[in-house]
Structure 1
Amino acid sequence: MNVDDTNDTDDLILKLLETDNPTASKLIYTYHYKAVYTYIKDFISDHDAAKDIIQELFTAIWIKRHSLNLIKPLRSYLLSAAHNKAINYLRDKGRQNRIMGEIVNRSGNGKIAPPADAELQASELEIQIRRALSRLPIHAKRTFLMSRKQGMTYKEIAEHLHVTEKAVEKNMSKALSLLRQYLGIYLKMLVIALME
């Protein structure tokens, strides 16, 4: 879908939301679900939790349609809201694990320590991601952000940057490889801490 098609679709969705037409929800799902899901899966490895977050987000948009100040591009809003919900999920999951650890400790069977504060972990993860992104070569960073933050396809990125799709693929591959390298150990430590 090119930029003009996206603008037309966003215009239609916004008009349908204003007139309380439930088709708006179907269009949001059809045109934005995949990008939002892919974005959330970068944070949360749990497929069901990611789907629940998206369902909650899309439902909230319908319920709060008259009080939200939605503007184009809708995908930017959706990705930002999804990001916040993913961070909240990680924080809440850490809190639940910590409470369970305390219950086990108080019951006299306390052989496991509760995990570190999940809020601190989520905040630290954001800092580490920003640092890792700042270390990427400029073309790799730009391609990664256009794909993951703006939800653009490789074809759209190639057209926007006036390069071939092959160049976009190469830059994306480089970005993902370097991010795995920069964040690998940290992410493993975070996953272990959250699962304790």
Structure 2
Amino acid sequence: MPLYSEYADDILLRLLKEDDQSAYTEIFKRYSKLLINHAYKILENQDEANDVVQEVFLSIWNKRNELTVTGSLSSYLYKAVKNRVLNYIAHEKVVSRYADSISNFVENDYVFADSKLREEELESIIAKEIALLPEKMREVFLLRKVEELSYDEIALQLNITDKTAKQQVYNSVKILREKLKNFMGVFVW
């Protein structure tokens, strides 16, 4: 019987693509705690960190046959967790901020029927629209609007120019405004 704990990551990946559940289990044992700690440092919530990592591993198992890993497995897993965390943050924090600002706008200028239900619907729409942004644009947008990094910090972190970072945020806000203006007539009267 093979001892999976002694296999290198590339061998485990090859076996995983061949539907070897023991290889998947070994990858999970090898990396799950590290990834949960990584997610926890960002989210500061153990349950949310566990959920994010579980989603990443579930996705890996479901897409094992077409999984393409360039570079090391650990880098791939950390990036997958980071992207999942950014999506989670987009859903939780950005949506909440936009919902709050839209809610304030509506409370001051318009009558709002069933405000809680409509606010939840709007939060869901905003989260979906953010998730539909191109990956790099979404990443820059979230770093600016959620993490509140400066354009210089974003440029340094993503190895792009600050001008590119500004343009990505500008483009994402323009896209979101355009898509959301179609929904505002439904939510406000």
TM-score, normalised by the number of residues in structure 1 = 0.50
On the 8 A contact 2:17/2:67 being kept in 1, the answer is no
Superposition deviation, residue 91 in structure 1 = 1.6
Q: Which residue of 1 aligns with 2:95?
A: 96
TM-score, normalised on structure 2? Answer: 0.52
Paired positions, count: 123
Deviation at 1:9, TM superposition (A): 3.4
CA–CA separation in structure 1 for the residues paired with 2:155 and 2:78: 16
Q: How does 1:10-159 map onto structure 2 within 5 Å?
A: 10-71=9-70, 73-98=72-97, 100-101=99-100, 102-103=102-103, 106=106, 119=142, 120-122=144-146, 124-125=148-149, 128=153
SS of corresponding position for 2:43: coil
Pair 1:45–1:123, CA change in 2 (3 A): closer
Question: Equivalent pairs: percent with the same residue?
Answer: 26
Q: Deviations over 1:62-92 (max 9, x none)?
A: 1111212125521111011111211222122
Partner amino acid for 1:78?
L
How far apart are 1:11 and its partner, in Å? 3.3
Instruction: Assess if the C-alpha contact under 8 Å between 2:5 and 2:26 holds in 1.
Output: no
Distance 2:153 2:61 in 1: 34
Give 2:60's aligned amino acid: I
Structure 1 residue identity aligned to 2:145: Q
Q: Tell me the C-alpha RMSD between the 2 structures.
A: 3.6
Structure 1 unmatched ranges of 5 or more:
111-116, 133-196
Q: Following the alignment from structure 1 to structure 2, what is the Cα–Cα distance between the partners of residues 74 and 7? A: 15
Structure 2 stretches lacking a partner, 5+ long: 116-129, 131-140, 158-189
**8 A contact 2:94–2:146 mirrored in 1:** no
Q: Which has the higher contact order (CA 8 A, sep 6+)?
A: 1
User: What CA distance in whole angstroms lies between the structure 1 residues aligned with 2:6 and 2:76?
Assistant: 14
For the residues of structure 2 that align with 1:34 and 1:129, how far apart are their CA atoms? 28
Partner amino acid, structure 2, of 1:65: R
